[in-house]
Structure 1
Amino acid sequence: MTKFTKKESQLIVNHVCACIKKLKVTQEKLCGELDPPLDTSLFTKTKQGKKRLSDEYLSQLVELFGYPRIGKGIFVEAEHYDGLNEFLDTYEDTQLARFTNRQIQIWQNAEFIESLLRSFVIIEKKAIENSNNFTDNKTYVLGQLQSMLKDEAFKNWFDLYEPKAHSSALKKVLFDIKESPTEPTLEAILAVYNIRCLPEFPKEALLQRLGMMNYLVDSIYEFDISHQTLFPIPIEKELVISGEQVLNERISLNTFIDKTSRKFDSLIKQFSLIDEITLLEPNSKIRLIIRDYLINHDHVESWQYVQFQIFLGTEMGYHLLLSFEGKTSRKVVISLKNNNEIIDTIIELHKFFGLKNIIISAIKNSLAEAGGYIPGTTLLT
């Protein structure tokens, strides 16, 4: 069933009143014919904007009399925020969640997990085969890797090690490579957990990727190699923005690097992640490539442009539509409850994106031509 807002409820009831007036039908008669019959006083208070009808009643009225015309508008699928502060306060966390989700999607690839587990073998298999806890090789290896992630020795190795170029498996490695730690060696750490990596697989690259994923999400929840869930991010809603477009400009964001992007830059430099891992299955033709999103800044929510649009709604409220463009995309609608905030909001957004040379007079002129309210001005009629 369609969900209606309080404002839509008032618009629909007023539209119905205009229709039944032409049909010479009273409000009492109409309310009595609805299922179940509606209290006439509630109908009247909804018309005045004091009350709201239920979605069941509104659906009946729309089916009988149609939906009121609300003027021209545009349809968009976008995140919706009430006010600028709600958008800015959640911006960094949302960017981080979007970035992390793209990394998690690699770990949701069953073929990748299977290839990862087949890269390792059990050293002393006979010692554990008779154990009640042993089920199969893959489950055992998975559990051992999971336990290793909590080991301080592995954390120390991860913090210090930066892999050198590998001709077949690693195509790109970032510069400023440090010397590998002499102790503990990765082989020694794995041996503690009774596993080793087959020589044909790039163990350093695989375990560096495993460690990166673990420590990336560790501050939020415990990383589980085989059961990753995506982080919650703002949901894109189907929206119709009614009213007249009063501003439309496409702005270059080449100089904009937000705090989250700087964190990613630090992450890239610190972990020296590879561009891609190529896993070649022994004695088979299976070839799996896992591309690393971190190596390319364009994949790290580094927007190239933002389409900046302002709409003057039918109720004289302002709605801002921001369409971010790059290797990824994002659409955001910011609704302003207070028209007095429009100019300050525009200035604040430009500052946030590091944009200079804001021509406020031109923006005010666009708002005035559309009949919009401009705070701080004197209206001459």
Structure 2
Amino acid sequence: MTSQVRYTASETEQLLRHALDSTTRLTKGRLATELGVAPARISEGLSGEWKLGGDKREKLIEKYGQPRGKRGRYVEAETSESISDFLQYEQEISRKRHLETILGALTDPGFLQEIAGHIIKPDREDFSGIPPVLTSRKASQTLENVEQFFLSPEFAEWLEAIRIGHQQLCKAKVSAEHFQDYFRASTFYDIDQVAELTFPIGRPEPPSDHGLKDHADRYGLAFQHINGLDLAALGAAFLSLQDEKHYRAAGLKKPISLAKPPRRKALVENKEFVLTGDSVWQEQGRFNSPKIGQPFTEAGVFRIPLKHPHQVLSPTFERQRNLEVPSSVKRFDWNLDYWTTYRVELFLNQDCNYALVIELGTDHGPFIANDLHLAERTILIPKISGRHVIEQLNDLRDWLGMEELPETSIKENIALAGGYIPGAEIL
């Protein structure tokens, strides 16, 4: 079947010119005959008025080779139409990024195997602390039970109670130890007592027979290898993705299933680019206050009221969880976006317009120096009008928290690179 893909005007021009320059014997007419197009198409392609289809592109490359590109800087980045678009939609993008993180975990085979292995009821009493490795079939059956457990009215009642307790803990600014104790105890106290648990929390007297652990037993599940923090995080995320608003936002046609995880697509796409323009300005610094992203929904997360406001509960499958110590399990981190540093670089393109690269990163962590920018996210604005570049950079300056834009220095660099400076007289 013939490809219907159309390539860009600049790529068409580049390929046609490369073919014509490869030999003096090749004329526009002969090239048109080889491609099976009208002779006028070649002139139109050279002037940007016609674009090659995929089959013709491959024919050109097969016979005349790929034209050599220009030297430049390689970036893999999200794209935005303009600086104003980037600023306007930044919080919306952060929600998509968070949703993509959650979805990535809940559709990952290894992660799902971990859930099943940690929550299945063992055949006999097990004190090893090591969850069983399940066959694919057994894991799938267990995940079906987990789904039914999460969808049960008793789990919904527990989750609502734990939210009330969680809000009270946040307001009281309790220690990490109290936070952990509360979530641990919430699984074995009667569900109707969970919202009002007080410290210090001991074992219920008399022993509970209407707790979450008792309810889980009816589904063939147990909590020997999983903690209440993980249960809350998993249940909240799973139930949020039963809501049509959220599963549609995730690109799914129906509520998410753990037993039959759906195929997913990227919600925030990164593309590859080579920037061939001249670098005319770059700046690196720290935000006056961190830029904090948004969760895909507040109902889908439990915030951790400790050091950093971007932290939310992430399943780690650690039996004894210490929230004050960074988890050794880094496979899936459900925290929100958190940016403390930035680096921006402006490039003058061949058409006298501009491309801007924005890097966002962090300088927090046990092995990161305070003055180090560790890029974790890159955004590219591929085309900024030369007439409005300073104006748009000033919009970005406000967001970055810079006191002023070094306009004179930028204009000097633009002039040295042969760029256009609105209002400047050329002598």
Q: TM-score category by the smaller chain?
A: 0.7 to 0.9
Runs of 5+ consecutive residues of structure 2 not aligned to the other structure: 124-139, 170-174, 195-208, 248-254, 321-326, 363-373
Separation in structure 1 between the aligned mates of residue 74 and residue 21 of structure 2, nearest angstrom? 27
- Identify the residue that residue 46 of structure 1 maps to in structure 2: 45
Q: How far has the Cα of 1:62 moved from its partner? A: 3.9
Separation in structure 1 between the aligned mates of residue 22 and residue 256 of structure 2, nearest angstrom? 60
2:338 maps to which of 302, 316, 325: 302
Q: How far has the Cα of 1:207 moved from its partner? A: 2.8
Preserved contact between residue 14 and residue 67 of structure 2 (Cα < 8 Å): yes
Q: How far has the Cα of 1:308 moved from its partner? A: 1.0
Bigger shift: residues 191-200 or 342-351: 191-200
- Identify the residue that residue 133 of structure 1 maps to in structure 2: none
Distance of aligned partners of 1:214 and 1:40 in 2 relative to their CA distance in 1, 3 Å threshold: same
Distance of aligned partners of 1:208 and 1:231 in 2 relative to their CA distance in 1, 3 Å threshold: farther
Separation in structure 1 between the aligned mates of residue 402 and residue 295 of structure 2, nearest angstrom? 17
- Identify the residue that residue 283 of structure 1 maps to in structure 2: none
- Identify the residue that residue 27 of structure 2 maps to in structure 1: 26
2:119 maps to which of 117, 120, 131: 117
1:207 maps to which of 231, 244, 263: 231
1:184 maps to which of 180, 192, 205: 192
Aligned length in residues = 346
- Identify the residue that residue 80 of structure 2 maps to in structure 1: 81
SS in 2 for 1:52: coil
Runs of 5+ consecutive residues of structure 1 not aligned to the other structure: 122-135, 165-169, 281-287
Separation in structure 2 between the aligned mates of residue 93 and residue 38 of structure 1, nearest angstrom? 45
Q: Does 1:253 align with 2:291?
A: no
Q: Structure 1, residues 307-352: CA drift from partner, whole Å, max 9, x if none?
A: 2111111222211112223377112211125222311221122222
Preserved contact between residue 227 and residue 319 of structure 2 (Cα < 8 Å): no
SS in 2 for 1:355: coil
SS in 2 for 1:53: coil
SS in 2 for 1:208: helix
Distance of aligned partners of 1:154 and 1:43 in 2 relative to their CA distance in 1, 3 Å threshold: same
Distance of aligned partners of 1:3 and 1:303 in 2 relative to their CA distance in 1, 3 Å threshold: farther
Preserved contact between residue 256 and residue 354 of structure 1 (Cα < 8 Å): no
- Identify the residue that residue 237 of structure 1 maps to in structure 2: 271
What amino acid sits opposite 1:115 in the alignment?
G
Preserved contact between residue 357 and residue 380 of structure 2 (Cα < 8 Å): yes
Distance of aligned partners of 1:16 and 1:263 in 2 relative to their CA distance in 1, 3 Å threshold: same
Separation in structure 1 between the aligned mates of residue 7 and residue 141 of structure 2, nearest angstrom? 55
Preserved contact between residue 190 and residue 211 of structure 2 (Cα < 8 Å): no
Distance of aligned partners of 1:379 and 1:118 in 2 relative to their CA distance in 1, 3 Å threshold: same
Q: How many percent of aligned residue pairs carry the same amino acid?
A: 17
Separation in structure 1 between the aligned mates of residue 64 and residue 223 of structure 2, nearest angstrom? 74
Q: Does 1:279 align with 2:324?
A: no
Q: Does 1:142 align with 2:146?
A: yes
Q: Does 1:324 align with 2:360?
A: yes
Distance of aligned partners of 1:337 and 1:62 in 2 relative to their CA distance in 1, 3 Å threshold: farther
- Identify the residue that residue 303 of structure 2 maps to in structure 1: 267
- 1:214-225 equivalences under 5 Å are 214=238, 217=241, 218=243, 219-221=245-247, 222-225=255-258
- Identify the residue that residue 91 of structure 1 maps to in structure 2: 90
Separation in structure 2 between the aligned mates of residue 25 and residue 172 of structure 1, nearest angstrom? 78
Bigger shift: residues 322-331 or 364-373: 322-331
Distance of aligned partners of 1:366 and 1:197 in 2 relative to their CA distance in 1, 3 Å threshold: same
Query: TM-score with structure 2 length normalisation?
Result: 0.65
Distance of aligned partners of 1:46 and 1:172 in 2 relative to their CA distance in 1, 3 Å threshold: farther
Q: How far has the Cα of 1:61 moved from its partner? A: 3.2
Q: How far has the Cα of 1:216 moved from its partner? A: 5.2
Preserved contact between residue 336 and residue 342 of structure 1 (Cα < 8 Å): no
Q: Structure 1, residues 138-179: CA drift from partner, whole Å, max 9, x if none?
A: 366324313227965234213213399xxxxx975659x899
Q: Structure 1, residues 285-310: CA drift from partner, whole Å, max 9, x if none?
A: xxx9766846xxxx532123222111
Distance of aligned partners of 1:261 and 1:27 in 2 relative to their CA distance in 1, 3 Å threshold: same
What amino acid sits opposite 2:415 in the alignment?
A
Distance of aligned partners of 1:88 and 1:110 in 2 relative to their CA distance in 1, 3 Å threshold: same
- Identify the residue that residue 137 of structure 2 maps to in structure 1: none
2:396 maps to which of 345, 349, 368: 349
- Identify the residue that residue 167 of structure 1 maps to in structure 2: none
- Identify the residue that residue 11 of structure 2 maps to in structure 1: 8
Distance of aligned partners of 1:199 and 1:47 in 2 relative to their CA distance in 1, 3 Å threshold: closer
Instruction: Give the alignment's Cα RMSD to 1 decimal.
Output: 4.3
Q: How far has the Cα of 1:189 moved from its partner? A: 6.2
SS in 1 for 2:394: helix
Q: How far has the Cα of 1:261 moved from its partner? A: 7.9
Separation in structure 2 between the aligned mates of residue 322 and residue 243 of structure 1, nearest angstrom? 16
Query: TM-score with structure 1 length normalisation?
Result: 0.72
- Identify the residue that residue 154 of structure 1 maps to in structure 2: 158
Q: How far has the Cα of 1:101 moved from its partner? A: 3.5
Q: Structure 1, residues 203-241: CA drift from partner, whole Å, max 9, x if none?
A: 533432233323554450245344555573222222111
